[in-house]
Amino acid sequence: MADEAMRYAVRQELDLSWTVYDVFTGGPAMPSTYCLTNLSESQADMYCTVINARDIARRQRVGFPFP
């Protein structure tokens, strides 16, 4: 996955919690009906890895090229 453009990343918030965010919008990631906010660093890393893998698989299925 290192060569693909990652849509999601993690950031530490002012309250020291972690958020998985959409790099295109800057807003919290919402893979379903919940926002990925107020997480521990390990939770954020795990969720980020999972939803990036799902996004890459989706883009490959529909034929979006990677930069």
Can you count the helices (H) and strands (E) in the chain? 1, 2
Which pLDDT score, from 0 to 100, does residue 1 have? Answer: 47
Secondary structure element (H or E) that encloses residue 34, with its range: none
pLDDT tens string 5-63: 899 999 999 999 999 999 999 999 998 888 999 999 999 999 999 999 999 998 888 87
- DSSP H helical segments within 1-67, as ranges? 41-62
